[in-house]
A and B are shown apart, each in its own frame.
Chain A
């Protein structure tokens, strides 16, 4: 049975008819064309699909589109400012080479933003524990951790620390 879902995605109101079993990630990718949110597994382990629902990070493969009815959803496409200025966390990932193939990156960045929102000055240990639900196969996490710590400082209004030469 199809059902109608309505929500705000990246600040825009959307309403679509979907099959009841449609996952939020499928809705975002296939119905709205927001392909920045990725699917890397089928057991809710990898975190490539993390988006924000009402400001909190959620694995969008673990939620039905219908469950997001009425919610405010932010995807990686909606994180940068309207003028294209990168969010401090996005800028930190670039500065510190916190991404390689880019596939886990949207989920990693969305998780990192939520992590820092909840804990504005995390220790390295807290960052590593906080990203436990996001798997990256390329970076070995070293530069992701550096990026999140630098991004956290920048989100508190500090200037973005440069990568050591």
Chain B
């Protein structure tokens, strides 16, 4: 009988019991004796010189303990927040890397840049006093959009960075692309904007700093996806605290979506201030503050051209992108529009020549960094919109044009012209599953039915591939990563046979406590309730890189498998001794250690007991104990892929777009827990649909004020904005280079959905001659597009 808590079972989540009863422990839920509260004074200007700070009145306010500024941090030699990835420009010069202090020293560079921090007995007192801190600002002109920041004469965000240019990077073979374009029968062209988004994890960021005078130990509890990364960056580069005196804990975290990967200044401030005031210091963002200070996502402006022969075979792709970095470089910002974007521009297609140029620009806005998908949704959106334009212009059916250009499964492993080597994938199969699933042939009838009700209908495809499971450390290092990208695990059997797994991955909604436990249950036949997954505390877990880029199972899960391999090797030796058999004769069957061809068998529990009470144990050969650690460094990226199909219905009178149906067919390799995987897809889809139809982060182009700074202004998708989904996956293209055969599923929905929705919207509007619309397709934009393309008489 299959193990009901093993691989492939939809085990109901173990973490749910505490979340459903209000017993989760998020950072803001934690309170310490003597705790104080921090509130930041933030710049109301996008760009201003700070000429003076007068805290005298604030210091007199009730409950105030301290008002600290950038000058105080400078006195204490607090460093700059480091950037974890270095890009080199075309000319070989390193990217411009301006200092980024946790509290600004002499200049504020975006609305929300921290200028001072007030520490008081209560949050309310700190908030009241923050209003009394008098900051003298000399307002400066701001460079707000990436395009304007690049113009000659634009205000400089950093005086010594001419043209606001961080780097001018490229990838691919320009000469081969030029030659292919010269031979092309048809060239499809597209200008598009991938708009700026606010990640909006539902738990606002929070941080709690503590200092123990007796031991000299600092503890930071924070809303992070990767506590060890924070410990390394903050300890080594910002505060100068050695790792053995710094503990970073990321307890229950209420969603991340990339925005909680980065090391933020507030984390350093509360850790530093806790020692300074001699009491714990807690900061919790209000949502308005999250809008202003969480790293944003996307914000690309691109031009793309696709060269084809007369039969619609893709010959070459040329892309030029301008990426907004914001005012400073966030932790992984430079990698997003480069190695996580341009390397994906081959998509699922065998386009032989690709050339991409990316200019990264500083602006007076909050830093931009990874947001769910991180570069890959931008790549997918660009390719899939361009392919749709090509299909419309050549008159080739959009499904057929894609199929004609797919990298065939028989060509795997496939080296793309933009650095990646895909290991597996059957893109035609995804399409073959999707077409009948959405009744592609019945679209015309559905469109006619919509038309009878006065509605427009469109169908849109997106085929995507992403590079996940980041990444072989030596490859990433050669590309500019300043860290390793392995993952760690420790599998510790206890004397009575229960197990604790320590993982460097971090769960903030992904369900690791269930999925990872299934790996152990499957391997050793241990009931899942006897397996505990520990994550998120640097004082407990081995050094690990955390969770981002759909890497937890592919890299973190593989580390657990490696540790279990070591446990099994040792357990076999112990079993051989206990059963008086040769080690070579011990087989592991359904989690039991069996002497081949006999009924002599031991459970892992029997072996664990002997390992810790070694009365009948090969002590001359083995150490006691059953506790193994492993680090797994991936051999390649993993390549989840799929085909998403969306149908929309549009009311031409109001411009309202409704998603009529959405189907996702995905290849995630092997699936451990289908219920969790499907949930990841659903959530990803709504983030992609949100970008396509609702979400848009807007700064005033002159003043640099954030115009969409609350849920009143920034449209989050709600339950009545989206439909239920049709989700399918297949498992016959497992990843070839990790022991589980898994590819990752966390970002897929977001990567495919925006393009599928927008392709459907443009398709629906094509009868008005609309060939492109930038996201989000709000009622106003759609209505304007319809009016713009409607002959004057017809509109009357």
Residues in chain A within 8 A of chain B (CB atoms):
19, 21, 29-30, 34-43, 45-46, 48, 75-77, 79-80, 86, 90, 93-95, 97, 99-106, 109, 124-125, 127-129, 131-132, 134-146, 163, 165
In the complex, which of the residues A36, A39, A142 contacts B682, with contact meaning CB atoms closer than 8 Å?
A142
Contact of A140 among B15, B31, B252, B685 (CB under 8 A): B685
Which residues 280-320 of B have a CB within 8 angstroms of A? 286-288
Inter-chain contact A45/B711, CB cutoff 8 Å: yes
Beta-carbon contact of B22 and A106 below 8 Å:
yes
Inter-subunit contact A132/B720 (CB<8 Å): yes
Question: Contact: B749 with A140, CB < 8 Å?
Answer: yes
* Complex CA–CA separation, A127 to B255 (angstroms): 24
B20 contacts A99, C-beta separation under 8 Å: yes
Q: Which of B180-188, B201-209, B646-654, B768-776 contacts A (4 or more CB under 8 A)?
A: B201-209
Structural contact, B719 and A42, CB atoms closer than 8 A: no
Instruction: Check A139 against B683 for contact (C-beta < 8 Å).
Output: yes
Question: B329 at interface (Cβ–Cβ under 8 A)?
Answer: no
A142 near B725 with CB under 8 A, answer yes
Partner of B13, one of A41, A79, A94, A136: A94
B716 cross-chain contacts in A, Cβ below 8 A: 45, 135, 137
* B712 CB contacts on chain A under 8 angstroms: 43, 45
Chain A residues whose CB sits within 8 angstroms of the CB of B202 once the complex forms: 38, 40, 46, 48, 101, 103-104, 135-138
Dominant SS among interface residues on chain B: loop
Given A141-B719, A141-B722: A38 touches B203 (CB 8 Å cut-off): yes
> Which residues of B, 189-240, contact A by the 8 Å Cβ criterion?
200-204
Inter-chain contact B15/A43, CB cutoff 8 Å: no
Closest chain A CB from B165 CB (angstroms): 34
Given A41-B711, A137-B683, CB of A102 within 8 Å of CB of B21: no
- A19, B203: Cβ atoms under 8 Å? no
Q: Please tell me if B686 contacts chain A, counting CB pairs below 8 Å.
A: yes
Alpha-carbon distance A21/B253, docked complex (angstroms): 29
Take A35-B29, A48-B202 as given contacts and tell me if A100 and B683 are in contact as well, using a CB distance cutoff of 8 Å. Answer: yes
Chain B residue contacts of A127, Cβ below 8 A: 719
Residues of B bordering A, CB below 8 Å: 10, 12-13, 15-26, 28-29, 31, 124, 200-204, 252-255, 257, 286-288, 508-511, 674-676, 678-679, 681-687, 710-712, 716, 718-720, 722, 724-725, 749
Q: List 24 A-B contacts (CB under 8 A).
A: A30-B31, A36-B23, A37-B22, A43-B287, A43-B712, A45-B716, A46-B711, A79-B21, A86-B21, A93-B20, A97-B13, A97-B676, A99-B19, A100-B509, A101-B255, A102-B16, A103-B24, A105-B20, A134-B718, A135-B711, A135-B718, A137-B257, A139-B682, A141-B682
Q: Is the CB of B710 within 8 A of A36?
A: no
State the main secondary structure of chain A at its contact with B: loop
Does A36 contact B16, Cβ atoms closer than 8 Å?
no
Once A97-B13, A132-B720 are accepted as A-B contacts, the answer to whether A138 and B255 lie under 8 Å apart by CB is yes
Q: Which 4 A-B pairs have the closest CB atoms?
A: A36-B22, A103-B254, A102-B19, A101-B509
B710 adjacent to A41 (CB under 8 Å): yes
Contact (Cβ within 8 A) A77 B10: no
Q: Distance in Å from the Cβ of A10 to the closest Cβ of chain B? A: 10
Q: Which residues of B contact A29 (CB under 8 A)?
A: 29
Q: Decide yes or no: A128 and B675 within 8 Å by CB, A102-B254, A103-B203, A104-B202 being known contacts.
A: no
Q: Are B22 and A34 in contact (CB-based, < 8 A)?
A: yes
A109 to B17, CA, bound (A): 13
**Are A42 and B287 interface neighbours, CB within 8 A?**
yes
Alpha-carbon separation in the docked complex, A36 to B20 (Å)? 9
In-complex Cβ contact of A46 among B124, B287, B725 (8 A): B287
Asked whether, in the complex, the Cβ of B682 is within 8 Å of the Cβ of A137, the reply is no
Contact B684 A140 (CB under 8 A): yes
